[in-house]
A and B are shown apart, each in its own frame.
Chain A
Amino acid sequence: MKLAQLSLFIENKPGKLVAPCRVLANAGISIVTLSLADTGEFGILRLVVDRCDAARAALTEAGFVAQRTEVIALEVPDRPGGLAEVLTAIDSAGVSIEYMYAFTYGRDGRAILVFRFQDPDRAITALAGAGIGVVAPVAVGQVRE
Chain B
Amino acid sequence: MTPPDPTAAEFHPASALDFLPRERLRELQLARLHQTVARSYGRVALTRQRMEARGVAPDDVRSLADLARLPFTTKVDLRDTYPFGLFASPMQEIVRLHASSGTTGKPIVVAYTREDVAVWSEVMARTFAACGLHRGDIVQNAYGYGLFTGGLGAHNGIEELGATVIPISGGNTERQIMVLKDFGVTAFCSTPSYFLHLIERAEELGVDLRTLPLRAGIFGAEPWTDSMRRRIEARTALRAYDIYGLSEIIGPGVASECAAQDGLHVFEDRFYPEIIDPETGEVLLEGAEGELVLTTLSKQAMPMVRYRTRDITTLITEPCPCGRTLRRMRRVGRRSDDMLIIRGVNVYPSQIEAALLEVEGTLPHYQLVLDRENGLDRLSVEVEVTPEVFSDEVRVLEGLRARLAHAIEHTVGIRVGVRLVEPHTIDRSQGKANRVVDRRRKDP
Contacts and interface: CB of A to CB of B under 8 A. Distances in A.
Q: Do A and B come from one complex?
A: yes
Interface of A: 7, 9-11, 16, 37, 39, 41-42, 44, 46, 63-65, 67, 69, 98-99, 116
B83 to A, nearest CB: 41
Interface in B419-441: 419-425
Mostly, the A contact residues are strand
B387 A65 contact: yes
A64 B424 CA distance: 8
B93 interface: no
Interface residues of B, number: 17
B389 to A, nearest CB: 9
B390 A99 contact: no
A67 B419 contact: no
Contacts of A67: 387, 390-392
A69 B394 contact: no
Mostly, the B contact residues are loop
A16 B397 contact: no
A99 to B, nearest CB: 7
Given A63-B423, A67-B391, 10 more contacts: A7-B392, A9-B420, A9-B422, A39-B398, A44-B394, A44-B397, A65-B385, A65-B387, A65-B422, A67-B390
A74 B379 CA distance: 46
B392 A116 contact: yes
B429 to A, nearest CB: 15
A64 B390 CA distance: 11
Q: Which 5 A-B pairs have the closest CB atoms?
A: A7-B392, A63-B424, A65-B390, A9-B385, A69-B392
29 contacts: A7-B390, A9-B390, A9-B422, A9-B423, A10-B422, A11-B420, A11-B422, A11-B425, A16-B422, A39-B394, A39-B398, A41-B420, A42-B385, A42-B420, A44-B392, A63-B422, A63-B423, A63-B424, A64-B422, A64-B423, A65-B387, A65-B390, A65-B422, A65-B423, A67-B387, A69-B392, A98-B393, A99-B393, A116-B392
